[in-house]
Chain A
Amino acid sequence: MADYDRRQGGRGGGGYNRKRRYRDDDESDHRPQRRRYNEPPLHVRIRKQLLTLAESPLRRWHEEIQTTAHMVVDNYDKEEVRTNFLELVPQIVVEQPLKTPFVAAVVLVANSLKPEVATDVLARIAPLTEEKIKLGEWRDVKLYLKLLACLQSCLEGDGLFPALEELFNRAVELQTSNSDDTIGTELVKIILLTIPYAMAAGSSQAQQKAADLMDKTDVIASEPHALQALIDPHHAEKGEDSPTANSSLIGMLQKQLQNEALNGWELKCLPRPWQMPLEEIELQEKMENAQKHPLPAIAIPETVITGPRPLFPEIYMSVYANQEVESVPPVSNVAASLIRDGLLDTINIMDFNRNVTARYLIDVDCYFADGTFVKRATPFDRLRDIDGGRSTWKPEDVAVDAVFSQLFQLPSPEHKLVYYHSVLTEACKLAPAAIAPSLGRAIRYAYHNIHQLDLELGYRFLDWFTHHLSNFGFMWKWTEWADDVDLPDIHPCKAFIIGALDKEIRLSFAQPPDEEIQPVIARIHAAALEQSIDPLVSSTDVFMTAICWVGSKSLSHVLACIERTKDRLLDVGAASEAARLQIITSVISYWSAQPGVAIVIIEKLLNYSIITPGAVIDWALVSGKAGPGGEALSKSWVFELVLNTVVKVTGRVRQVLTSGVADGAADTEVTAMRDLFKSMDDALVSWAEGTKDQMMDPAEPMDGLGGKRVELVQRWGERWLRVFRRRSAIEEAHMLATKQ
């Protein structure tokens, strides 16, 4: 446990745990006295200095960098110092990439004093880059290249550019052989995100090299990718364009870099900690005349692979688009891409300490050039008073925007959605006055665009919103939506409000329904026979309702009850589709006031195979039992129920495929999954096209929609259809990739 800077470091972060902290304190009290007064060893001090580079809002970059570089150089002959330094440098750049330019500056200063340091760093980074290329770990490749780009000024000849060109050649090969290829797209993205750092660090001689390279990338970057429409976060209504229709990330980057090239690569937002202030002119000269090094070769294997994470083209999205004053960089500015990229890497890498992630979000202005942002916590209303020419970008908006881009990332972000929830929660705790108003404007954006958000993202927004509020005493200006309460329930905004209230109740308190039933199975049987209804179905209702009633005390009661009666339930479920539907109906109508509980019970019934996924789909989308005339489609809990069911099925298929069970088993599961998607498609198409009988049912009330009911239901049908067609397509793609 002798982990010095873990306890003392500026980024402790784990401090929420009261008990843990006390225990640590106790422990340090037991340490031998002498250790307390000893200075930590040199390599530990260097480690701490490197890890805290640029963290201070005082922005004493040059002092920090010079002190650290001198400490390294002066003690470079010590084995421990050298080894630790050469291990830590590559680790910082892949774990805390916003610090890369500062780490590079340390290396550049050190190079002017002792060229051996840079030689060793390059000799360390090049093979690591090569290895990551081999593994298809493209983010790490990008992050090592970023460090090398920042070291461009100490590289011989064209520096990093030949390596980037070779990477591009591979991208071209991939794209020519397959237009659906996503690795080539990823490679071009990496190249385009690396060029700016090389330009900010290198001399103007590189301009021609950059221009040549960008001429080549243009073909790939400007062509919309085949999968792009599938993962657009917006789902425009008929006859309208999605606000993000032209926001392919690499397409945008290409244009932004072309703009920069026209302006002589100003790259105003990037920090240049290797440029020393005037009083350090001597050091600056020394750095300029320091020894240059050849870049060790970085071999690219014949075949490159996708790596551990599936690759998709990316779309740039901002929840602060189209405001009267720009509070985030506009899509025409390269700062939009560069700052977002740095933040996203940080967010996704640091999932093992959300407190540190949140700290980075709050401190984002520390890692970019002076004047990139307005002062922290500047109210939005004050932005319009800022004089011409100066930045109006709010650091909080830029940070929150980055997290939302992950919540709204299709098909799915890198980590569980709840991680991104937790990051926003911590950021809000660290700087409530700064973050809360930004969140408020993000919420308003999502709410007002909910009709054209992809339906799955609408559900994610609902889930985040309710979880977030539960961490902050359920405080929200509900009154601003008061007028929307009068809208019909199937209006997207009203459906959101209903869904939000349901979820809040689930997280805040729950009481079992107070209901008394007296199951008299025999009597029901007789009555059913008289009316020639399926007696099994009606007795199933009584039976299932009885289970719910007996188990209504708590979830574990009902689950234990299902466990005890599972044989009988299995028989019932096996009898007929009608019986399976009845089981679902009974559970859901018993828990109609708390659909969340019903969803858990249904999930367990699926686990026991008492009901089938098909029955759930049928119940929700076809039977009309979840709401008349297509109203079911507007209910967020119905979406949750269906989504959970589909995720269960697809998760099972993936599990079977990766575990390499005998082909027969996998085939059965795959066929079942395809059938499920097919039946969903059939059901949803008829809602989307308005051919469903129930939709035209004259008995359905028009509930004040002035005849717009049919259109609204059709729109819900389209939105559902898009979500599950995408899921189906992604599973097919996954199966294809697994087979290869």
Chain B
Amino acid sequence: MRGGFRNTVERLDRPSAYYLNRTILTNSGLQNNKKGRRNDRNNRDEKDGDTEMANNQQPEEPPEDPLRNATTLYVGNLSFYTTEEQVYDLFSKCGEIKRLIMGLDRFNKTPCGFCFVEYYTHQDALDCLKYLGGTKLDERIIRTDLDPGFEEGRQYGRGKSGGQVRDEYRDDFDEGRGGLGRAIQQTERLRESEKNRDSEHEMREDYGRLR
């Protein structure tokens, strides 16, 4: 856990429970194995496009916090129609943006509702968590989380239909994100022939490719 000092109220510039859980799982050799909470030795050396940190570390070394100097933020719950220009305009309020990577649908190459914003400094990224996370962009409440940053090989990781996994089985109608979940839409279309669908529980929303 980070630092011994504790403020009298919660801080908003900490990584989310989502990230911390992931880190704990990864560090204890349980990454990507949420169903069975057992220490499966075979899993430890399996390379997976979606595991990007600490999986080769010796257990006795104290794991170095990969977010200590993080300058990148994951930004989620964007509308599919929100443009780079809008993201730029809002996020520049916390500092100059070094790079912006829009998450794209694997097949259509259109925005699929998330992006990564990279700043020049760690402080700008923290300020962004504190001041912009949970506010609105394009009429939607956006979610921000610190991220260890872009590395080659951390691409893909989408749902079956090419978008984010959360948009597969969503049963509310979200106009900004293509209506109902895609899997549900498909189910409705192919109700007759539809059979056992592999349910995919991997929730990670991951990097998009640049173009």
Contacts and interface: CB of A to CB of B under 8 A. Distances in A.
A352 B12 contact: yes
Contact of A356 (B9, B86, B94): B9
A556 B100 contact: yes
Interface string B87-103: 01110111110001110
A435 B16 CA distance: 30
Nearest to A474: B139
Contact of B1 (A1, A503, A507, A597): A1
A95 B8 contact: yes
B122 interface: no
B89 A507 contact: yes
Contact of A422 (B18, B81, B96, B135): B135
A91 interface: yes
Nearest to A557: B211
B10 A471 contact: no
Contacts of B132: 418, 422
Nearest to A607: B96
Contacts of A19: 16-18, 143
A467 interface: yes
B131 A422 contact: yes
Nearest to A597: B85
A13 to B, nearest CB: 6
B186 interface: no
Contact of A23 (B8, B17, B100): B17
A560 to B, nearest CB: 8
A510 B85 contact: yes
B135 A96 contact: no
B204 interface: no
A419 B131 contact: yes
Contact of A470 (B96, B130, B136): B136
B16 A471 contact: no
Contact of B134 (A11, A12, A16, A96): A16
Interface string B71-92: 0000000000101111011101
B6 A556 contact: no
Contacts of B50: none
A417 interface: yes
A16 B141 contact: yes
A555 B84 contact: yes
B17 A27 contact: yes
Contacts of B9: 9, 11, 13, 51, 95-96, 350, 352-353, 356
Contacts of B210: 556, 560
Interface string A1-34: 1010010010111101111100110010000000
B130 A354 contact: yes
A373 B102 CA distance: 49
B138 interface: yes
Interface residues of B, number: 43
Contact of A416 (B1, B88, B93, B96): B93
A509 B102 CA distance: 16
A427 to B, nearest CB: 13
Interface in B118-140: 127, 130-139
Contacts of A355: 12
A91 B131 CA distance: 23
B86 to A, nearest CB: 6
B131 A471 contact: no
B8 A507 contact: no
A16 B7 CA distance: 19
Contacts of A704: none
A96 B8 contact: yes
Given A510-B85, A596-B85, A354 B12 contact: yes
Interface residues of A, number: 58
Nearest to B136: A471
Contact of A510 (B83, B96, B102): B83
A470 B86 CA distance: 11
A91 B130 CA distance: 21
A84 to B, nearest CB: 11
Contacts of B8: 51, 88, 91-92, 95-96
B11 interface: yes
Most A CB within 10 A of own CB, among B1, B81, B134, B139: B134
Given A416-B93, A418-B131, A24 B11 contact: no
B21 interface: yes
B13 interface: yes
A133 B94 CA distance: 31
B10 to A, nearest CB: 5
B130 A23 contact: no
Most A CB within 10 A of own CB, among B94, B100, B131: B131
A252 B207 CA distance: 56
Contacts of A417: 93
A438 interface: no
Interface string A608-646: 000000000000000000000000000000000000000
B10 A507 contact: no
Contacts of B130: 351-354, 419, 422
A391 B125 CA distance: 44
A88 B86 CA distance: 43
Nearest to B10: A14
A556 B7 contact: no
Contacts of B86: 506-510
Interface in A405-420: 415-419
B84 A352 contact: no
A51 to B, nearest CB: 6
Given A95-B8, A351-B130, A422-B132, A555 B88 contact: yes
Interface in A95-143: 95-96
B74 to A, nearest CB: 12
B143 A555 contact: no
Nearest to A350: B9
Interface string A214-230: 00000000000000000
Contacts of A24: 17
A14 B133 CA distance: 10
A246 interface: no
A20 B18 contact: yes
A470 B21 CA distance: 33
Contact of B11 (A16, A353, A506, A554): A353
Contacts of A418: 93-94, 127, 131-132
Return the 7 tightest CB-CB contacts between A and B, nearest first. Answer: A16-B134, A418-B93, A510-B85, A23-B17, A352-B11, A555-B84, A422-B131
Given A51-B9, A556-B210, 5 more contacts: A17-B134, A27-B17, A507-B137, A510-B85, A600-B92
16 contacts: A6-B10, A19-B17, A51-B8, A95-B9, A350-B9, A353-B10, A355-B12, A418-B94, A419-B131, A421-B131, A471-B136, A507-B90, A556-B100, A594-B85, A596-B89, A600-B92
Interface of B: 1, 6-13, 16-18, 21, 81, 83-86, 88-90, 92-96, 100-102, 127, 130-139, 141, 143, 210
